[in-house]
Structure formats: structure tokens, C-alpha cells
């Protein structure tokens, strides 16, 4: 299989942090270096962190904005592409025409303590498609062959993009939530891009899920994908007490999948003794948990953060979607509607995930 490779391409470009998205049609197609492949981007999800990075509000581990960002900026890290060219010295198992994922991590060292432990998402020398390298908001992308996410040929590329970030992040949060089959698990922000997947992963692992969100449509959808109870925060005056009533004393785990600081503030107070608060949404700025230390100590609570997941965990999440067990709720839109999608994200008006069709012949 061979495909002619143009010299230039269309990309969604941001020239300065906080600047507008521009669609540039004469951006250079990458020239492959050693151990790289060129993929034609078919579809890409749009993540809240794409918006935060574009706006200059994405928070680092200390809560301050990340400023070490390549400019001009081309975002996108939930892409699915097809390999159309293989550079020199690539290893075995890579084939022309094969499907690949375009994830957050672009390169890892494979030698530091985190890589060696299978936690390469914490690699001290890693680069990523948000801050350091052009991401999937372009028609063609160069990928490191040693960090390649090779996808099965029979996946649906429209569905798998969101699994590569939102999906594996939600999956990791569920794995770290420390619950047993049949126990109550609360998902806050359950109708969003992360939350609707967390509900399904938790249900797949045997949890009795309480979905916290707002609106009749979200209620019907979340109950249809496995939530046992739905708590509408706009209608229930005290969500914490509502959860305690349903669970007879608190949930075994609470997964916060919202990007709103208010969702985190008192989420731990929904937990029963020995429960786990599993955090995945990252609000901008420096918001804090407001649960008293005495509550955490006396109830023996555990708090865990979840930064995406390893490649192994990513492929486990992909397999659950390939088999139809966890199905992302997606809306497919044209590539050039990215600006409108960002506006919807800012308003919090997106149930599930929006996926952009980048390739005209996808």
C-alpha cells in the first residue's frame, strides 16, 4: 500500500497562548527522522486539556500555568491515524496501512525508574503532543516508532480516539479506586467526556454506580449504560447527604471527573470509612480539596490522582471498546469546527466527547 505524500497540509494553529485558532493550509508535512513513522490523521477527539493549553491556563503539578509550550501550537492528543510511510531503522511489527493511536505522550526515555516500572506516563524525560510536539489537529503527523500505539485493524477509529486519553484516564481512576464487586462507586461529572467512560469502566468491574450530574438527558443516558442511581446536583439540595442515604453511610469510592473546582471541594465527604477519592479532572488555577484533615484521618480515607495511564493500560481500555463493553458517546464533526467545539467546552455543553474528522476520505 502506498499513498502520495504532499509537501504541505492543513493544521489548526494557535500562534500565541490565548490566541485564536487559525486553519493554515500550507503548513509543512513532517519529514521523517530516524525511527519515525508518518501517519495520516483520520479522526481526533477534543479534550478539555487541549482548550486549557490553547488558552494558557493548563496547570502544572504545582498549580501554576504551564508556559513551556511549543509555539506556534498544534494541539490534539486523541487521534487515530493510518501509517503511510516508515522511516529508517524502525523495528519489526510496523506495517504500511496499519492503524495507530496518537496519544498524549509522544516520546519516553524507556530507562528512568518510572519507565522501567511500567509507569512511563511519569517519565522524567518525556515529551508530549500538548506542550512539546505538534499533535493530531493536523492532517499528517510523525510518531516515534519506539512509543507507537499500534491498534487492531478491526477497531472503529471514530470511537477509539477518545479512549486514548479520556478513556485510559478514566480506566486508571477506576483501577485505583480500590472497590470490590457490588460496592457503591460515585462518579461526579458523570455525563462528561471522562465521566461517562468512568461510569462504564466501574460498572464493567462490578461496581454499583451512582452518577452525579445534571439534566434529564444525561440521567437517561447514564442509567442506560449501567449507572444504578442518578443524583441531579441542580435538583438535590445536598448531594453529600443524598449519596449517604443511597449507600447507607457513604460510597466505597468517589471518582471526580469534572473540571470544576466545586466538584472536588467536598467530594471526599461522600465516602464511607476506608473509602478512596480518585481524582482525574484538572480544574485550571490552584483549587483545593476542602475536606477537613480530621475527616481524612479519622475515617481512614485514601486520595489518589491519575495521570492518564501506561501503554499497557491504554491497550486494555482499547480492548474493552473493541469488544463493545465500554462505548464512548461521540459526536463526529468536521475538522474546521474546532473553534466552535472549544466554545462548547468552555460552556460545559458537551455530553460525552466530540470527535473531529480530519481526513476527507476517512
Predicted local confidence at residue 97, as pLDDT: 95
Work out the mean pLDDT of the chain and round it to a whole number: 94
End-to-end CA distance of the chain: 16
Closest CA to 81 of 141, 1, 21: 141
Predicted confidence (pLDDT) at residue 330 exceeds the cutoff of 90: yes
Q: Are residues 154 and 235 in the same domain?
A: no
169 falls within a domain:
no
Q: How confident is the model at residue 2 (pLDDT cuts 50, 70, 90)?
A: low
Distance CA 267, CA 132 (A): 33
Q: Answer whether 30's CB lies under 8 Å from 140's CB.
A: yes
Per residue in 91-129, pLDDT tens? 888 999 999 999 999 999 999 999 999 999 999 999 999
> What is the span of the domain harbouring residue 83?
8-164+309-357
15 falls within a domain:
yes
3-state SS, residue 103: coil
Per residue in 237-295, pLDDT tens? 999 999 999 999 999 999 999 888 888 888 999 999 999 999 997 887 788 899 999 99
Q: Are residues 198 and 146 in the same domain?
A: no
Q: Are residues 99 and 189 in the same domain?
A: no
200 Cβ neighbours under 8 A, 6+ residues apart: 225, 226, 325, 326, 327
Domain limit, last residue, from 288, 305, 322 = 305
Predicted confidence (pLDDT) at residue 175 exceeds the cutoff of 80: yes
Q: Are residues 344 and 205 in the same domain?
A: no
123 falls within a domain:
yes
Q: Are residues 35 and 77 in the same domain?
A: yes
Read off the CATH number of the domain in which 270 is found: 3.40.50.720
Q: Are residues 280 and 318 in the same domain?
A: no
Predicted local confidence at residue 66, as pLDDT: 86
278 falls within a domain:
yes
Strands 184-188 and 208-213: parallel
pLDDT above 90 covers a percentage of the chain that reads 84
Residues 312-332, mean pLDDT to the nearest whole number: 96
Read off the CATH number of the domain in which 139 is found: 3.90.180.10
258 Cβ neighbours under 8 A, 6+ residues apart: 188, 189, 192, 195, 264, 281
Q: Are residues 59 and 122 in the same domain?
A: yes
Q: Are residues 39 and 26 in the same domain?
A: yes
Q: Are residues 138 and 228 in the same domain?
A: no
362 falls within a domain:
no
The three grid cell numbers given for residue 225, joined into one nine-digit string: 449504560
Q: Are residues 98 and 237 in the same domain?
A: no
Query: Cα angle vertex 337, ends 322, 3, to 5°?
Result: 60
Distance CA 192, CA 30 (A): 34
Domain limit, last residue, from 305, 322, 342 = 305
- Count of structural domains within the chain: 2
334 falls within a domain:
yes
170 falls within a domain:
no
- State the DSSP string of 156-203: -HHHHHHIIIIIHHHHHHHHTT---TT-EEEEETTTSTTHHHHHHHHH
Q: How many CB atoms lie within 10 A of CB 352?
A: 20
Q: Are residues 324 and 289 in the same domain?
A: no
Q: Are residues 106 and 215 in the same domain?
A: no
Residues 26-41, mean pLDDT to the nearest whole number: 96
Amino acid at each position: 500500500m502506498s499513498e502520495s505524500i504532499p509537501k504541505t497540509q492543513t493544521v489548526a494553529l494557535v500562534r500565541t497562548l490565548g490566541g485564536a485558532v487559525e486553519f493554515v493550509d500550507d503548513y509543512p508535512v513532517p519529514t521523517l527522522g530516524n525511527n519515525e513513522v508518518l501517519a495520516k490523521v483520520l479522526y481526533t477527539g477534543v479534550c478539555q486539556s487541549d482548550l486549557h493549553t490553547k488558552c494558557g491556563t493548563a496547570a502544572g503539578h504545582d498549580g501554576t500555568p504551564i508556559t513551556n509550550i511549543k509555539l506556534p501550537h498544534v494541539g490534539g492528543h486523541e487521534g487515530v491515524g493510518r501509517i503511510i510511510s516508515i522511516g529508517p531503522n524502525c523495528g519489526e511489527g510496523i506495517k504500511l496501512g496499519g492503524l495507530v493511536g496518537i496519544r498524549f505522550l509522544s516520546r519516553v526515555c524507556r530507562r528512568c525508574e518510572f519507565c522501567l516500572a511500567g509507569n512511563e506516563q511519569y517519565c522524567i524525560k518525556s515529551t508530549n503532543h500538548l506542550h512539546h510536539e505538534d499533535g493530531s489537529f493536523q492532517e499528517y503527523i510523525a510518531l516515534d516508532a519506539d512509543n507507537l500505539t499500534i491498534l487492531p485493524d478491526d477497531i472503529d477509529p471514530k470511537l477509539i480516539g477518545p479512549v486514548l486519553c479520556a478513556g485510559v484516564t478514566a480506566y486508571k481512576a477506576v483501577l485505583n479506586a480500590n472497590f470490590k464487586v457490588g460496592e457503591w462507586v460515585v462518579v461526579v461529572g458523570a455525563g462528561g467526556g471522562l465521566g461517562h467512560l468512568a461510569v462504564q469502566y466501574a460498572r464493567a468491574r462490578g461496581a454499583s454506580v451512582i452518577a452525579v450530574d445534571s439534566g434529564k438527558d444525561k440521567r437517561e443516558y447514564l442509567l442506560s449504560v449501567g449507572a444504578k442511581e442518578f443524583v441531579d446536583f441542580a435538583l438535590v439540595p445536598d448531594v453529600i447527604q443524598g449519596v449517604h442515604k443511597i449507600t447507607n453511610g457513604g460510597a466505597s469510592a468517589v471518582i471526580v471527573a469534572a473540571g470544576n473546582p466545586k466538584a472536588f471541594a467536598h467530594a471526599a465527604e461522600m465516602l464511607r470509612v476506608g473509602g478512596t477519592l480518585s481524582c482525574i479532572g484538572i480544574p485550571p488555577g490552584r483549587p483545593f480539596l476542602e475536606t477537613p484533615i480530621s475527616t481524612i484521618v479519622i475515617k481512614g480515607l485514601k486520595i489518589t490522582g491519575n495521570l492518564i495511564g501506561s501503554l499497557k493500560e491504554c491497550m486494555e481500555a482499547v480492548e474493552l471498546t473493541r469488544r463493545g463493553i465500554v462505548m464512548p458517546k461521540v459526536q463526529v464533526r468536521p475538522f474546521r469546527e474546532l473553534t466552535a467545539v472549544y466554545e462548547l467546552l468552555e460552556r460545559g455543553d458537551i455530553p460525552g466527547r466530540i470527535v473531529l474528522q480530519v481526513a476527507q476520505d476517512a
